[in-house]
Structure 1
Amino acid sequence: GSVSTQKEHVLEGFNDLIRICTIKISFGYFAKPHSSPAMGSCHQDEEFMETYQLFDTKGDGKVQVNQVGDLLRALGQNPTEGDIQKLTQQHKPEDRITLETFIPIYYAISNNKTRSHTTADDFIEGLRQFDVEGNGYFSSVELRHLLTSLGEKMTDEEVEQLLVGQEDAQGNIHYEELVRVVLNG
């Protein structure tokens, strides 16, 4: 019935959140203060270009379409899989696109600020399903378990990096706060 589809929907959102966490962790987002590229300065933005080049595995100035989502996340955006599919639907997943093709996709996502707010609420709503006490907190043990066992599982090291400095004195984590840190981090 509708309960299982609701659970699936929650899991889908959870997967998006985990993808965002993992890619941002692998790019050291939580380790250093980060500024996202200013509008209009993509070509000049060193960090933007460095990140783009990391995804250009053949060195031909192009990235594979099925990497676009991860590239966007590495650049500090928070697209959902749905967003990415809409923006890349005219390409096959194995196609390779140029920087000129990628930049409008980047702007479409980065301009779509309202989407990331609803996404934050979606993620929070999803996590709320697992919040038995309904107090807005998980024990760090519970949250670790969720992140390493659900959907696109995270590794223990990734979870460690994500949760550093998030625990309160009782070892609890305010997950709304955490989601906002991840999405804005």
Structure 2
Amino acid sequence: MAASITDRHERVRARVREAFVLFEHKEGSRLVDFKDVPVAIRACGVNPTSVQINLILDQLAALNAESDATGLVGLENFELVVSNFLIQQEASLFRDDYHTLLRAFRAFDSEGRGYIEAETLRSLLSGRGEAMTEDEMNKMMTVAADEQGRVWYEDYAQRLANDGRSI
């Protein structure tokens, strides 16, 4: 049993390192700009709340205060903090399953058309809960909406639930 836990932890650390490299400040620098940390965390396949992101940022800032790399986060600190967070908070980071997502989308399709207008989804996501930034919204819509501005939610729910990432 201990070997499987160790293997799982190493897989998490490997995923964190892979995400880090995607956002490296300069190739080979082993540094990431502090402002890119939230996106790098999400690149690990999780969608933490803003409170969780702020906890991670606070931990990284405390570790970073000891270094000279102002505004940058080193790989070692990033890997340590983010890996520990993913391992300890795993239960709170699970993605919703397909059926849960489908029910949520259907609640906004009273006519049963199988899609919702992208602008309707945009409005919902910017006005409730943790609002997405305009940049996040635009990136999401390039994946979610078709050329006519419709989000076919059965396909999109499948993609959200089963995008191949798990922690």
TM-score, length-scaled by structure 2: 0.54
Whole-angstrom distance in 2 between the partners of 1:102 and 1:95: 13
Whole-angstrom distance in 2 between the partners of 1:77 and 1:42: 12
Deviation at 1:183, TM superposition (A): 9.3
CA RMSD of superposed structures (Å): 4.4
Q: Secondary structure at the match of 1:39?
A: helix
* Structure 1 counterpart of 2:40, from 71, 74, 80: 71
Q: Does 1:180 align with 2:156?
A: no
* Structure 2 counterpart of 1:140, from 94, 111, 115: 115
Q: Which amino acid aligns with 2:153?
A: I
Identity across matched positions, percent: 18
Deviation at 1:163, TM superposition (A): 5.9
Deviation per CA, 1:123-180, whole angstroms, max 9, x where unpaired? 96xx57x6364x9x774242x223444423433x74353368xxxxxx8524765653
Deviation at 1:50, TM superposition (A): 4.9
Deviation at 1:39, TM superposition (A): 2.6
Structure number with greater CO (CA < 8 Å, separation at least 6) is 1
* Structure 2 counterpart of 1:113, from 90, 93, 113: 90
Q: Which amino acid aligns with 2:76?
A: E
Deviation at 1:102, TM superposition (A): 0.8
Deviation at 1:115, TM superposition (A): 0.6
Residue pairs, 1:78-157, within 5 angstroms: 78-90=47-59, 91=61, 95-111=71-87, 112-117=89-94, 120=96, 131=108, 133=110, 139-142=114-117, 144-149=118-123, 150-151=125-126, 152-153=133-134, 154-155=137-138
Q: Who is 1:22 aligned against?
A: none
Whole-angstrom distance in 1 between the partners of 2:30 and 2:11: 18
Shift of the 50–132 alpha-carbon distance from structure 1 to 2, 3 Å rule, reads closer
**Is the 8 Å Cα contact of residues 147 and 159 (structure 1) preserved in structure 2?**
no
Q: Which amino acid aligns with 1:61?
A: R
What is the count of residue pairs matched by the alignment?
A: 135
TM-score, length-scaled by structure 1: 0.50
